[in-house]
Structure 1
Amino acid sequence: MKVLFAVSECAPFVKTGGLADVAGALPKALAAQGVEARVMMPAYPGLAALKGAKPVAEMEGGRLLAVKAEGLSLLLLDCPGLFDRPGGPYLGPDGRDWIDNPFRFAALSRAAARVAREGAGGWKPDVLHVHDWQTALAPLYMRQSAAGQAIPSVLTIHNIAFQGVFGAALIGALGLDPSGFTPAGYEYYGQIGFLKAGLVNADRITTVSPTYARELTQARFGMGLEGVIAARRADLEGVLNGVDLDVWNPAADAHLAAPFTAATIAGRAKNRAALAERFGLVPRDDAPLFGLVGRLTRQKGIDLLLETLPRLLARGASLALIGTGDADMEAAFRAAATAHPGRVGAVIGYSEELAHLMQGGADVILVPSRFEPCGLTQLYALRYGAAPLVARTGGLADTVIDANEAAIMAGCATGFQFAPVEAAALGDALDRACDAFSDRALWAQITANAMAAEVGWGASAARYAALYSHLVAR
């Protein structure tokens, strides 16, 4: 089974979010299922110079390079005029969207469609798997083309908040069939909808958790596309993301002060002390050290955390935070750290080292998001024996077993959930976490359960392999 992954970013080469982690890890896990996945992505600055990169096809405006790197088989779309520029994959150095983004990612989608139909370098895939709006036009381009032979396609939605909506005046320039500009096609409120095009043209649709798949059919979460998704409910499936167990491995993590395993979890105390020192905290032994890593935005529920911070501090707990985002929220956490020295520590920015140390040293990891398609932070927390405290939404609801009375009695709790996603409910969950922390036997059980949770890609890779096989056999 051969699968072409078409993505706009892939770790460790280029990363702005969880899509890159999936693109870098899932193909490796699929190999164990007998699936040969090749990852097509733009040749951003420096990638065309990867050792061993060889041209395998001429493409519109450039060429396609094949190379093996970091355990992945890559197909790099080398179009310097589109992708070899300073800044990020989507934003320029000024922090604004590249004005030619529709042309950049239409080119990537066209290249993916061509390889899907015709192959490249003697390799032809059996299935095309596209991800998010940046490659969602590929199934449509594949249907429009007469060259070669079309193959089944899968579209994965990682976050429906990003849809790739552009002016209808670009229809001709993007090489789209004007007859498809209808409510049943790629038209979206009078504009071109890249993601919508994928939703109506892909053979199957997946998203990154079962709960998020259900949520996407509701107006609250579907962001204008809930009707389209509901109409394709029979072709929709939620498949949980996993984490790279080699990168996120507490037993061999160089970022930790003291690597540990479930059998040597007592060594976690050294990481707690190291984390406290890095954030200028003096945490109490009888109260949890809460940690948060993420964007400081309303979507992530950070305003709820600010509102409940006095309640957290009243319990004797402390807070370490890493993140950037809303300027007012950044200022609020700086002010909180100044007002509560030794109790609140904030690093406004991002550090991979501190992110790992946070997972290995915090007692509780907070993920109070208003919506979260899957989430990886809570999976890292489980892997590192930190109890996730999460909103009951999306993948958070699917991956954390709430320490309610029934779960405690059954001995299966791995963390804490709260609903509705409001400050009062978050405060109640903070109290429950503090109460559980004071019961050493219960806390030991929760952390042991967390570390035993399956958070790798094995089960999800098996599900995708079965999906690909089903599509090819139709």
Structure 2
Amino acid sequence: MKILFVASEAFPFIKTGGLGDVAYALPKALRKVGVDARVIIPKYSQIKDHFKDKMTKLWDFEVPVGEKNQYCGLWKLEHDGIPFYFIDNESYFNRENPYGEYDDGERFAYFSKAVLDSIVHFDEFVPDILHCNDWHTAMCIPMLQAFYQNQGIYQNMRTVFTIHNLRYQGVYGEEVLWQQLNLDSGYYSEDKLKFHDGISFMKGGIVYANAVSTVSPTYAEEIKNEYYGEGLHGLLQSKSSNLFGILNGLDTDINDPRTDMHMFVNYDENTLDNKAKNKEKLQEMLNLPVNRDIPMIGMVTRLVDQKGLDLIQAVIGEMLQEDIQFVVLGTGDRQYEDMFKFFAWKYPTKLSANIYFDASLAQKIYGASDMFLMPSQFEPCGIGQLIALRYGSIPIVRETGGLNDTVFSYNEFTGEGNGFSFANFNAHDMLYTIRRAIGCYWNKETWTKLVYSGMTGDYTWDKSAGEYIDMYNWVQTH
């Protein structure tokens, strides 16, 4: 089976979120079980030179974008046993950031078309399935049907579209259809790409794909409802028969406290004293009082409302009355950045607000913290809670999306569970759950069992890779 995984980012070349992890770890897991999975992404200027220097140029050609023809260079590099292809165009991808540019619609319309045109230039690799991810690559699917479906190697190609976050849809004006996608106005209808007064790239992927998947079973059900469906819940209900929810795994080779070079001291479930040393070193680094016994709550997140920051804003004063240390890392909306800066000034011995992003500090927080807070409004899958469990930091989460599928609330009567959770999007429910976790923390026997259970759980991609193969088989037979 041959799969081309089409994505806008992939670790270790470029990564802004969970998609970057998936675009590396899932193809790696599939290749382990004999699937010829390959990845194609843009050749961004931010990709490190030591990767660029090893790339081989396969071809260059022109790609029609509306009435213009744009240059495309196709490059290849094998990394960790995975063949990666790169689409090169300086005017589109030599930017300060991978996303958030004024012409993102045109950039990713070009990328989608360039991916399809590249396939004939691959070295004897013809994908059976084009697996597209999120809105940036969604338009590959309707364009495959519109322009390529009856041509040679494209004839039997099937498509899968994975939703990593339904909120970000790539919505643009109707004129993008002909100005950049070369599609006619027939596509501007409710049963095709029309979304309110524009078009939605995400909708195009959902409408035309042979199968649609998302990154947890709970999220696959949630998005059929109006609250989570972002205006596409009716369409997703109609796709129930070919909508799959497959939980993301964790790359446990990269996320391993025994070998992680970002740890102050490496450790495992049998050397938890070394975990406590990580806490002391982090306290020292962040100018918090050094005390291995105080419960430390970590949070590594984008500071946006999706992540439950409204709940924290409502009760942070009460939260910081508790005997805790709270370490936050991330950037985002100004109101939340300012909130954390203010409370870090007011409670300098209790809150360390690190309003930037640093991958090394992120890992140190997972390694040092006792608890990890994720009170998300919605969370398609979430990777933070999986890393936290692996590093022995007990998750405190809201029961939504992938958090609901991976974190099971501790039951003091049976001893079952690997974290703490609350159901309603309510600040005091969250605060009650944090206090419950702190209470358990002081019972050392209970806490050690919880940490051990978290660290020894199976979070690998193996099971999920099997479910993806089942979906690919389904797609080829339906």
* 1:90 match: 99
Name which of 130, 137, 140 aligns with 2:139.
Answer: 137
- Counterpart CA distance in 2 for 1:71 and 1:413 is 36
1:301-350 alpha-carbon deviations (Å, 9 max, x no partner): 12322332233333311211111112222222122122112211111111
- Counterpart CA distance in 2 for 1:257 and 1:231 is 51
Mark the runs of 5 or more structure 1 residues left unpaired by the alignment.
92-96
Shift of 1:284: 5.4
Answer yes or no: is 1:62 the counterpart of 2:68: no
Which aligned pairs between 1:161-310 and structure 2 lie closer than 5 A? Answer: 161-173=167-179, 174-282=181-289, 287-310=294-317
* 1:424 match: 428
Name which of 308, 318, 328 aligns with 1:321.
Answer: 328
Answer yes or no: is 1:398 the counterpart of 2:419: no
- Counterpart CA distance in 1 for 2:34 and 2:341 is 50
Match for 2:384: what amino acid?
T
- Counterpart CA distance in 2 for 1:199 and 1:42 is 22
Name which of 44, 51, 54 aligns with 2:54.
Answer: 51
1:376-421 alpha-carbon deviations (Å, 9 max, x no partner): 1111000001100011111111110111xxx333333111111211
> Do 2:288 and 2:352's aligned partners in 1 also have CA atoms closer than 8 Å?
yes
- Counterpart CA distance in 1 for 2:9 and 2:80 is 14
1:408-465 alpha-carbon deviations (Å, 9 max, x no partner): 3333311111121111101110110011001111101111111122212111111112
**Structure 1 SS opposite 2:379:** coil
* 1:41 match: 41
Shift of 1:16: 1.5
* 1:112 match: 115
Answer yes or no: is 1:74 the counterpart of 2:84: yes
- Counterpart CA distance in 1 for 2:91 and 2:338 is 39
> Do 1:275 and 1:362's aligned partners in 2 also have CA atoms closer than 8 Å?
no
Query: Which piece of structure 1 moves more, 172-181 or 226-235?
Result: 172-181
> Do 1:279 and 1:345's aligned partners in 2 also have CA atoms closer than 8 Å?
yes
> Do 2:299 and 2:374's aligned partners in 1 also have CA atoms closer than 8 Å?
yes
Shift of 1:49: 3.5
Match for 2:19: what amino acid?
L
> Do 2:307 and 2:378's aligned partners in 1 also have CA atoms closer than 8 Å?
yes
**Structure 2 SS opposite 1:456:** coil
> Do 1:114 and 1:142's aligned partners in 2 also have CA atoms closer than 8 Å?
no
* 1:158 match: 164
User: For this pair of structures, how many residues does the alignment match?
Assistant: 463
* 2:67 match: none
* 2:462 match: 458
Match for 2:91: what amino acid?
G
- Counterpart CA distance in 1 for 2:39 and 2:202 is 20
Shift of 1:52: 3.8
**Structure 2 SS opposite 1:412:** coil
Shift of 1:119: 6.3
Shift of 1:44: 1.3
1:351-370 alpha-carbon deviations (Å, 9 max, x no partner): 11111110011000111111
Shift of 1:179: 2.0
Match for 1:442: what amino acid?
T
Under a length normalisation based on structure 1, what TM-score does the superposition of the two structures give? 0.94
**Residues 113, 408 of structure 1: alpha-carbon distance in 2 compared, 3 angstrom cutoff:** farther
How well do the aligned residues superpose, as a CA RMSD in angstroms?
Answer: 1.8
- Counterpart CA distance in 2 for 1:317 and 1:102 is 45
**Structure 1 SS opposite 2:183:** coil
**Structure 1 SS opposite 2:365:** helix
* 1:94 match: none
- Counterpart CA distance in 2 for 1:175 and 1:357 is 48
- Indicate the percent of aligned positions where both proteins have the same amino acid: 35
* 1:357 match: 364
Match for 2:169: what amino acid?
Q
Name which of 122, 127, 130 aligns with 2:129.
Answer: 127
- Counterpart CA distance in 1 for 2:88 and 2:336 is 39
Query: Which piece of structure 1 moves more, 326-335 or 419-428?
Result: 326-335
Query: Which piece of structure 1 moves more, 149-158 or 297-306?
Result: 297-306
Shift of 1:56: 4.2
- Counterpart CA distance in 1 for 2:191 and 2:347 is 56
Shift of 1:108: 1.6
1:260-317 alpha-carbon deviations (Å, 9 max, x no partner): 1112222111011112112222265554111111112222112322332233333311
- Counterpart CA distance in 2 for 1:64 and 1:286 is 54
Shift of 1:58: 3.0
> Do 1:57 and 1:120's aligned partners in 2 also have CA atoms closer than 8 Å?
no
Under a length normalisation based on structure 2, what TM-score does the superposition of the two structures give? 0.93
Shift of 1:90: 1.5
* 1:378 match: 385
**Residues 26, 278 of structure 1: alpha-carbon distance in 2 compared, 3 angstrom cutoff:** same
**Structure 1 SS opposite 2:255:** coil
1:1-60 alpha-carbon deviations (Å, 9 max, x no partner): 110011111111111211111112111111112111111111112659441412146341
Match for 2:72: what amino acid?
G
- Counterpart CA distance in 2 for 1:44 and 1:309 is 39
- Counterpart CA distance in 2 for 1:179 and 1:198 is 16
**Structure 1 SS opposite 2:470:** helix
- Counterpart CA distance in 1 for 2:176 and 2:451 is 53
> Do 2:218 and 2:245's aligned partners in 1 also have CA atoms closer than 8 Å?
yes
> Do 1:144 and 1:177's aligned partners in 2 also have CA atoms closer than 8 Å?
no
1:109-131 alpha-carbon deviations (Å, 9 max, x no partner): 12333456x56222101111000
